[in-house]
């Protein structure tokens, strides 16, 4: 089986993968809700960190627990817990981000039976000089909580191994992204998205082996169609692979992205320091920020523009999970920035399921516009 097919299989059978890992290794499986959770510490404790995702199915079980005006992603994720699909989890961890996903964590803690829960206070003002020392102390508390719960101390060697495995994972995925800069990318946007999502679900050492295999396969690979319009995907949490496939079914390819199932998740590495927890904290402080943590200096915009230019995009698709206020606030400056740099944009608002009938007309019109401008 090729690496791409294995990624697709794991994403489609994520619960089965985690349960088989648990049976095979006898370790604990820890769910996490936000990419600011330091997976290195969970991995160092000998546990499997697994991202909690939704199913993109309509549901009505969360109305009694969280507001219907919370974003579809947080409601969909909570629904999976309430329906028992994550019953194999031993613990759940959240690093404080937006109020919507935090309340998903709180409702999970209160209403879904689970052995271990931990809410971490991730600084909102990551640009402050006090953010790193604060987060380092938070990580010390988290480490001690994992040790007490797991009955095993986390050594410096454990931390070093976890940092190396996670850094290698990020480095290899970045190498795959580099291959998308060419005129004919050997991998589609949908395939890349499944690669990144699989990294959030799998044992990272196993995922690394698949990435090495993929990098051997890609130089001679063709995706079997024209690249077409080169697109960038930006915005709220995005793991809807089917939407990406549908867009790429037209004359288009997503060659780069900026969201938390893409570059925002893995783009930077842990830089070694004598204090390993401080090094890990610095990585999460300095990673590409989501809108709530991009103040007072708007560093996000420059990062996004550089990606768009480096990957030679023809247009950008801006997505927002419905009711996601931080990303909605971010859309106007993004549109203005792209307009000033002559990159057309298309804005789409997502619900739990993709309204493809409505989106299709808008996507087709957008791609026709790009084709006209490129002539």
Give the separation between CA 264 and CA 120, rounded to whole angstroms. Answer: 20
* Rounded Cα–Cα distance for residues 67 and 183 (Å): 45
Question: Between 3.40.640.10, 3.40.50.11900, 1.10.10.60, 3.40.720.10, what CATH number should domain 159-374 receive?
Answer: 3.40.50.11900
Closest CA to 40 of 148, 211, 165, 149: 165
Predicted pLDDT of residue 326: 86
Q: Which CATH class is domain 3-151?
A: alpha beta
| Res 374: pLDDT | 59
Residue 224, pLDDT score: 87
Looking at residue 373, its pLDDT comes to 67
CA distance 139 to 38: 8
Q: Can you list the residues of the chain whose pLDDT is less than 70?
A: 352, 373-375
DSSP letter (8 states) at residue 272:
P
**pLDDT in the model for residue 192:** 98
Strands lying side by side in the sheet with 315-321: 252-258, 229-235, 315-321, 345-350
In this prediction, residue 351 carries a pLDDT of: 84
Instruction: Read off φ and ψ for residue 250, nearest 5 degrees.
Output: -90, -165
Prediction pTM value? 0.96
Domain ranges of the chain: 3-151, 159-374
Residue identified by tokens 């109020």 is 99
Q: Are both 3-151 and 159-374 of the same fold?
A: yes
- Burial class of residue 163, CB neighbours in 10 A (0-12, 13-18, 19+): buried
């Amino acid at each position: 089986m090729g690496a791409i097919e294995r990624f697709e299989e794991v994403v489609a059978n994520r619960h089965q993968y985690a349960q088989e890992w648990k049976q095979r290794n006898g370790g604990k499986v820890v769910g996490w809700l936000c990419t600011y959770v330091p997976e290195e510490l969970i991995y160092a404790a000998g546990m499997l960190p697994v991202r909690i995702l939704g199913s993109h199915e309509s549901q009505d079980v969360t109305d009694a627990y969280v507001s219907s005006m919370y974003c579809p992603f947080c409601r969909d994720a909570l629904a999976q817990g309430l329906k028992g699909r994550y019953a194999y989890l031993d613990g759940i961890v959240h690093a404080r981000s937006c109020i919507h996903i935090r309340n998903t964590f709180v409702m999970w803690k209160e209403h879904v039976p689970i052995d271990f829960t931990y809410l971490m206070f991730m600084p909102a003002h990551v640009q402050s000089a006090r953010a790193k020392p604060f987060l380092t102390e938070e990580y010390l508390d988290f480490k001690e909580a994992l040790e007490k719960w797991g009955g095993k101390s986390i050594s410096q060697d454990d931390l070093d191994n976890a940092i190396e495995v996670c850094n290698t994972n990020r480095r290899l995925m970045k190498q795959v992204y580099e291959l998308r800069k060419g005129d004919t990318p050997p991998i589609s946007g949908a395939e890349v998205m499944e690669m990144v999502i699989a990294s959030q679900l799998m044992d990272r050492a196993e995922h690394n082996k698949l990435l090495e295999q993929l990098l051997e396969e890609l130089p001679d690979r063709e995706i079997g169609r024209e690249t077409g319009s080169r697109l960038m995907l930006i915005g709220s949490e995005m793991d809807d692979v089917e939407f990406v496939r549908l867009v790429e079914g037209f004359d288009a390819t997503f060659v780069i992205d900026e969201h938390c199932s893409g570059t925002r998740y893995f783009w930077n590495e842990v830089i070694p320091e004598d204090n390993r927890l401080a090094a890990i904290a610095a990585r999460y402080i300095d990673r590409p920020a989501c809108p709530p943590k991009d103040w007072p200096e708007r560093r996000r915009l420059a990062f996004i523009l550089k990606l768009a230019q480096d990957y030679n995009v023809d247009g950008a698709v801006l997505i927002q999970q419905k009711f996601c206020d931080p990303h909605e606030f971010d859309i106007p400056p993004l549109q203005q920035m792209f307009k000033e740099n002559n990159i057309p944009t298309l804005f789409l608002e997502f619900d739990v399921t993709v309204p493809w009938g409505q989106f299709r007309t808008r996507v087709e019109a957008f791609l026709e516009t790009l084709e006209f401008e490129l002539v």
